[in-house]
Amino acid sequence: MCGRYSLSSTKLTLKQRFELSRQGEFDPRFNIAPTQAAAVIRQAEDGTRMLKAMRWGLVPQWAKDASSAAKLINARADSLADKPSFRGALRSQRCLVPMDGWFEWKREGKSKRPYYIHAADLRPFAVAGLWEQWLNPAHELVETFTVITVDAAPVLAGIHDRMPAVLQPESWSTWLDPRPLAPADLLPLLEPCDAAWPAFHEVGPEVGTVSIDRPGLILPFGGQGSLF
């Protein structure tokens, strides 16, 4: 599962890392939560990549209302080709969800302890996502997205049994291709990360509060030390 994540890299870093041609204005975020607007990367038909805001929580085009959004923040890779909520978007509406890291809660008895998981080299990375357009009752076009998850890599399985599907850079172009592609061409790209890729540490409980969004949330528990 992925229920919270951060994206605070500079515009220049994101432009260079993901070879962006267009990007809107985005504030640094350290506690992005479901149903909030967040930045995703899509590819235009001319092949250029753009960073734009969408709401986290997929609302399928055919939905009668937006009640599904909170339930569809994640999509399991092993059911994408079968579930009506995802199979259309898998075919031709794929996106990258840029992150600096995500939060996961490790259950210990009756309590849960939050951890921050990120790339060991501290570079922003791309998670596989799907996007949709939905016309609300006011006839406004609402664009939403979901984060695809896979079984956790063994190095992370002690924290949680699921993780976001982190895509290798060489897979970005295929995943972003707006042309219709078959599941057989796409699903092999969705694998747990390599054991050497992640680093992680425990963080403070404040990340569980949606209204708190500050740099200290990603620091080791107690505020001791720095990631940078």
Q: What confidence category does residue 67 fall into, taking pLDDT thresholds of 50, 70 and 90?
A: confident
Confidence at residue 223, expressed as pLDDT on a 0 to 100 scale: 53
- pTM of the entire structure? 0.95
Question: Is the per-residue pLDDT at 76 higher than 50?
Answer: yes
Show Cβ contacts of residue 217 under 8 Å, excluding neighbours closer than 6 positions.
Answer: 6, 30, 31, 116, 203, 204, 206, 207
> pLDDT category, 212, cuts 50, 70, 90?
very high
* Residue 127 CB coordination number (10 Å): 21
- Residue 88 in this model has a pLDDT that exceeds 50: yes
pLDDT reading at 33 higher than 50: yes
Give the pair of three-digit tokens for residue 29: 């975020």
Q: What pLDDT is attached to residue 225?
A: 47
**Is the per-residue pLDDT at 215 higher than 70?**
yes
Query: In this predicted model, what pLDDT tens digit does every residue of 166-178 receive, in sequence order?
Result: 999 999 999 999 9
Asked whether the beta carbons of 96 and 20 are under 8 A apart, the reply is no
C-alpha to C-alpha distance for 183 and 185, rounded to whole angstroms: 5
Residues that are catalytic: 2, 104
Structure token digits, residue 121: 């080299």
| Residues whose CB is less than 8 angstroms from the CB of residue 203 and which lie 6 or more positions away in sequence, other chains included | 103, 114, 115, 116, 217, 218, 219, 220, 221
Cα 148 to chain centroid, rounded:
7
From start to end of 136-203, where are the E strands? 141-151, 162-164, 198-202
Q: Which of 208, 214, 223, 225 is nearest to 6 (CA)?
A: 214
Give the pLDDT confidence of 130-139 residue by residue, as tens digits.
999 998 888 8
Q: What is the mean pLDDT of the chain?
A: 93
> What is the pLDDT averaged over residues 191-218?
96
Residue 155 has pLDDT above 50, yes or no: yes
Domain boundaries, the chain: 4-218
| Strand positions, DSSP E, the chain | 4-7, 20-23, 29-32, 37-43, 49-56, 74-76, 94-99, 101-108, 111-119, 125-135, 141-151, 162-164, 198-202
Q: Which one of 3.90.1150.10, 2.40.50.180, 3.40.1410.10, 3.90.1680.10 gives the CATH number of domain 4-218?
A: 3.90.1680.10
